[in-house]
Amino acid sequence: MTDQFGTITWWGFTPALDLQDTDTISALNNLKLDTDETKDTLNILLVGAGDIRHILQTIARSYRHKKRKLHFYIIETQCELYCRDLLFMSLFLELPNRMGLQEKAELFLELYGNLLVRQQSMEYVQKMSNELIKMVTDFDYLEKTLPCIDLSQLKFKERDFMEGIFKFWRNPDPKFFDVEKMWDLRLQRDLGVRYDTRDNVFDWDYHMRLVEREGDIIHAREYKNWRKYGIAYEPREGNYDVPNRTLASGVLVKHEGERLAKRGYWGDMLVSPYIPFGIQSEDKTLFKKNNNMYAKMSWHVSEFNILSLLHEIMNKEKYVPPQTEETKENKTATITEITEEEENEGDNTEKTDSTETASQSNPAKDEYESLPLDDVKITFLPVMSVADLPRKSKYKKLFDIIYFSNSLVHLLTSDLTPIYADTATIIAESARYMLQLKDDKVGEFFWKVKGIAEKAGCQVYEVDEPAKQNYLKFTYRRQQAS
């Protein structure tokens, strides 16, 4: 991939999946998930997902399926991603007395997709960094506070590195991460002579690539604002001027013949963080149009989806938004008609940065505790350890579902088949939203992955329009010895 995609995947390039949903993932029908009474645990391996969107959606909707234990195994390319996963899992499982659903949803989206955040948002990160340091250095404390997480498989040096990342997060000095300057310098480097006409570049990418690939719920203003400033979500009024340190990572650069580690923002600057949660939803009213224009934006879709996940995790029921007088009368507000007062009526939350609001819910003042998450375990495996798994007996025939990101799908080889269950489903992220690729290249990516999967002994599910698929799905069946 090119420089605009970066060297680290801070967010996925496809929408979140419920990995137990046989309607969405037809290949799962071969696993007979809802009829196999002997299968009490579903083991899922996620390779390079970049975030925990699939984990959150699968956990949140687990009550809709046959009751079973869910065991997720995560392999990423860098330890910084494990740190973000831990932070967001901790945030999602905050107790209601520390933080309400609306506040959690807003804070999640802000930290998830913004280069710059509000001061109080970074204060939460700083406070939680102390908790996360204790979790990675003391497994007894981890078991007490966040028992669904297992870090025991990580190497000592990886846990030490994660501790160092959390210490960096809690350092309030902005000079160590001048992210606005870094973003602009990368824009200049990536766009070259087109930098002076960058608004036109962003507009072309939006209309000719994103809209054409069914990402048009993302408003042009949203997308271009993110491309220019790195800010995707502004849920509350306030100053978004504090660097989001959770988006810092390191790369090796050459300087005077030497390779030196350089910290900066090295993530996506082209696709946007709207894709994982902001372009699909069970609530189809979010996609209503007035005069051939969407009445809502990707922000509204993302907010609804995150609120839904938070609500379902806590209450084991579908989320129904509070009705305003407007919705009772079956009216649809346009983007320009939504007022602050109407939003406040809808979520019963004061969307301001006032001291009064902060004092009502200030998790920094309380000791962290997590919501109970029964029958769920999330195990972090060593960085880029995929090739090591077949050599360990504990992973033999273990995984029922294996997920590969589009950047790591080349690891789908016959060498991995020993870790697949006798019947397993393999899901590969497509290249549909890799916006620098033309449609024919997206189709070529499908055929390339199809060839890789078939060579690895997988059955490929044929599709009519490969370039329009978000995911590629395969089934593996082990041949029984006669």
Per DSSP bridges, beta strands 420-429 and 458-460 are unpaired
| pLDDT tens across the length of the chain (482 residues) | 347 888 999 999 999 999 999 876 666 776 666 666 667 899 999 999 999 999 999 999 999 999 999 999 999 999 999 999 999 999 999 999 999 999 999 999 999 999 999 999 999 999 999 999 999 999 999 999 999 999 999 999 999 999 999 999 999 887 789 999 999 999 999 999 999 999 999 999 999 999 999 999 999 999 999 999 999 999 999 999 999 999 999 987 776 777 777 899 999 999 999 999 999 999 999 999 999 999 999 999 999 999 999 999 999 999 998 876 545 444 344 444 433 433 444 444 444 343 333 334 566 567 799 999 999 999 999 999 999 999 999 999 999 999 999 999 999 999 999 999 999 999 999 999 999 999 999 999 999 999 999 999 999 877 888 889 999 999 999 987 65
Q: How far apart are CA 376 and CA 384, in angstroms?
A: 23
Helix (H) or strand (E) holding 327: helix 325-328
Distance in Å from the first CA to the final CA of the chain: 44
Under DSSP, the state recorded for 239 is -
Backbone angles phi, psi at 313, to 5 degrees: -60, -40
Q: Classify residue 408 by burial, with Cβ atoms within 10 Å: 0-12, 13-18, 19+.
A: buried
- Identify whether the C-beta of residue 434 lies closer than 8 Å to the C-beta of residue 406: yes
Buried b (16+ CB within 10 A) or exposed e, 345-374: bbbebebeeeeebeeebebeeeebebeebe
Claim: this prediction has a pTM higher than 0.85: yes
